[in-house]
Amino acid sequence: MARKAVRGKAYTAAGGDERLVALFLDMLAAERGAERNTLSAYRRDLADVAAFLADAGRSITTAATEDLRAYLRTLARRGLRPATVARRLSALRQLYRFLYAEEERKDDPAAVLEGPKRVRPLPKTLTISEVDRLLRAAAACNPAAALPVRLRAARLACLVELLYATGLRVSELIALPASAARRDARIIIVRGKGNKERLVPLNDAARRAMAEYNALLALCRGDKVAGAESKWLFPSTGGSGHLTRQHFARELKALAAAAGLRAAQVSPHVLRHAFASHLLHNGADLRVVQTLLGHADISTTQIYTHVLEERLKSLVRDLHPLGEE
């Protein structure tokens, strides 16, 4: 009989936890513009917390700081990476901060929790000469090839030029609207994380690549090639209507091999890192790079400070009167 009572209490607690997590996720979606993938990640992390607490006869509503510490210890015993543990801790802190603000709890048991120390790895990037090799390989196309072949080559060249010129996230790049290829466009409007818009300038090389690709796309529309008519700049016959990130990543790795680079060292995100690193190396302000990348927090952009440190050292070495001594 006692066992049934405990089980019934656990079910009630689980239902209460689901309600609180749902309130929290609604807030993230409504107030912070969190996307579906972000909400799914939070939901999975908090479901894991709730399951652990339920096994211990506790709930999100009744958990104390020590209960949450016990949960974090179990994550370490499971062999989860420090980055994963830190993400779970972040979810806990945000949840309890929200519950405290909404008066669902009278305290915040997660406020004093400490996470694992994380050594943030330096971003993988490419040198300027490696990017040049990649761009040259992308621009190489047989003008006598069939129209669909030339269109695919022009699309890849456009994607690579745009990515290196703007530092867009791959999800932002593949979902660019067809209107981004206007002839007079020197700036494009990008819709990024949290549905936030930002302005990103285009250089001449990117504009030329877009114009060449758009001209071939127009020819394909005239020839009624499947998938040519679309509201997207990079149309596809898939469910999304535009090129997928996986397809672009595969083409980029094949291009890297053609350029004499290791396929493993090249990805859309590596080109985004190259954009930021090369800007900073050539004197761009960190805040400007933050804006161009669409980072909400300057701390995210600070992974590139090693580039600034190297630049400062070279400036002192080259310009200070005692630099060579």
pLDDT in tens, 30-43: 888 888 888 999 99
User: Is 169 labeled as catalytic in the residue annotation?
Assistant: yes
140, containing H or E segment: none
What residue type is assigned to position 7 of the chain? R
Tell me, what amino acid is at 129? S
Concerning whether 304 is annotated as a catalytic residue, the answer is yes
Taking the alpha carbons of 55, 60, 62, 63 in that order, is the dihedral positive or negative? Answer: positive
Q: Is 295 a catalytic residue?
A: yes
Evaluate if residue 280 carries a pLDDT over 90. no
pLDDT-above-90 percentage for the chain: 55
| C-beta of residue 20 within 8 angstroms of C-beta of residue 60 | yes
Point out the catalytic residue in the list 58, 272, 273, 278: 272
- Which pTM was predicted? 0.64
The pLDDT tens digits for 80-138 are 888 888 889 999 999 999 999 999 999 999 999 887 665 556 677 899 999 999 999 99
Q: How far is CA 317 from CA 23, 162, 286, in A?
A: 56, 34, 22
193 assigned to active site: yes
CATH class of 128-264: mainly alpha
d(CA 235, CA 218): 12
Among left, alpha and beta (phi > 0; psi -120 to 50; other), residue 214 is alpha
Every domain of the chain with CATH number 1.10.443.10 lies at: 128-264
Which of 143, 163, 164, 162 lies closest to 153 in space, CA to CA? 143
The answer to whether the beta carbons of residues 185 and 177 sit under 8 Å apart is no
DSSP-assigned letter for residue 177: B
